[in-house]
Amino acid sequence: MEILDLVRLNLLSPMVLAFVLGVIATLVRSDLKFPEELYTGLSIYLLLAIGLKGGAELSETPLDTFWGPALATLALGVLIPIVAYVVLRRLGKFEIADAAALAAHYGSVSAVTFAAVQTFLQVLEVPYEGFMPTLVAILEVPAIIVALLIARVALGQRGEWGEVFRELLAGKSILLLIGGMVIGTLAGKEGLTQVAPLFVDPFRGVLTLFLLEMGMVAARRFRDLRKVGGFLIAFGILMPIINGTLGIWLGSIVGLSAGGAVILGTLAASASYIAAPAAVRIALPQANPSYYLTASLAITFPFNLAIGIPLYYGLSGLFY
């Protein structure tokens, strides 16, 4: 299929349309609002479901099949924040703390974008490796650590890293992903079938609800687009395309299927808005949230959801 056809197919999916509905609801000042408890519950469900399914697949994955993609993912987690920091400092002229905060977000990963690309490939009936959720967990933490380390060295900061690591590892995204994978690995596919009616079959419906809420959250950041400037808007679109292409290329080198490489590329192209903001808030309180939250939520997330995912799928044809 042509990329434009893929974009059209993606834009007309229930998940993306729900996101658009959330944006419209906020722009017209609707009284539609998710209770905070429901939003938290949906995010817990999605993260645990991703971990459980990934762990079940990992239980049947030979080590020689997994180690190459794992190393490639780790390399992306180190390389992307370094490149992002250099671009933001030298071309964007951002302050050290702001550049490092943005680098942490763009080196880390969005679990919801991962769920969206999985659904996209399932609709197209494109197969991919079952252990891909494990790569989400691998990519989540290293980039944040690298970016914060760069900032501390550049700013000459000293101090304990204990609170930062505790926030990272005890945060719900990492805890649920890793915990779910451990449960899924120990229980195996046979164990997963016992909870499939809750964690497998309703997954797309819950994702649609969550994206409705994310549309409202993203729309509330649109007013900040005027503050962040044209450079950051361009960065929030071009950086994911570059990272996505790099991820697909690495995936082809380490033996991933075309579908697996598209997922790895999408992971590399996504920007965190759960784990990274929590860590940055502690380690770099002087960084401006308008930059990193607006870039990740109001620019990169909508771009990937609507256009980026089908674009990365089309780009995979360059390597497969």
SS (H, E, C) 74-101: HHHHHHHHHHHHHHHHHCCCCCHHHHHH
| pLDDT score at 1 | 60
Question: Tell me, what's the pLDDT at 160?
Answer: 62
The CATH code for residues 3-26+35-317 is 1.20.1530.20
Among 317, 319, 313, CA closest to 7? 313
The Cβ of residue 210 has, within 10 Å, a number of other Cβ atoms equal to 24
Q: What is the pLDDT of residue 141?
A: 83
- Res 228 pLDDT > 90: no
Q: Give the pLDDT mean for 221-241.
A: 91
User: Would the pLDDT of 114 be above 90?
Assistant: yes
**Residue 166, pLDDT score:** 77
Helix (H) or strand (E) holding 302: helix 301-303
Q: What is the pLDDT of residues 47-74, one digit of tens each?
A: 899 989 888 988 888 888 899 999 999 9
Residue with the bigger pLDDT between 117 and 279: it is 117
Helix (H, G, I), strand (E, B) or coil at 291: helix
Are 299 and 236 in contact by the 8 Å Cβ rule? The answer is: yes
DSSP 156: T
For 170, 185, 193, 196, 209, the CA distances from 312, given in Å and listed in that order, are 32, 29, 32, 30, 25
Alpha-carbon gap, residue 110 to 169, rounded angstroms: 16
The two three-digit tokens of residue 289, written as one number: 């949230």
Q: What is the pLDDT of residue 158?
A: 65
Task: Return all residues near 258 (Cβ < 8 A) that are at least 6 apart.
Answer: 126, 316, 320
- Residue 174, pLDDT score: 81
Of the two residues 162 and 215, the one the predictor is more confident about is 215
* Half-sphere exposure (Cβ direction) of 288: Cα atoms closer than 13 Å: 13
Number of other CB atoms surrounding residue 71 within 10 Å: 13
What local confidence, expressed as pLDDT, does residue 171 receive? 76
Average pLDDT over residues 17-32: 94
In the predicted model, what is the mean pLDDT of the chain? 91
pLDDT at site 8 = 86
What are the sequence ranges of the domains in the chain?
A: 3-26+35-317
pLDDT for the residue 159: 59
Asked whether the predicted pLDDT for residue 30 surpasses 70, the reply is: yes
Provide mean pLDDT across the span 30-53: 91
Query: Most confidently modeled of 50-64, 132-146, 196-210, 270-284?
Result: 196-210
CB 80 within 8 A of CB 106: yes
Question: What does the pLDDT look like over 125-181, one tens digit per residue?
Answer: 999 998 998 898 888 888 888 998 899 888 886 656 677 777 777 778 788 888 998
Cα dist. 224→27, 180, 231, 249 in Å?
14, 36, 14, 34
CA angle 147/78/164 to nearest 5° reads: 40
- Give 80-104 pLDDT, tens digit per residue: 999 999 999 999 999 999 999 999 9
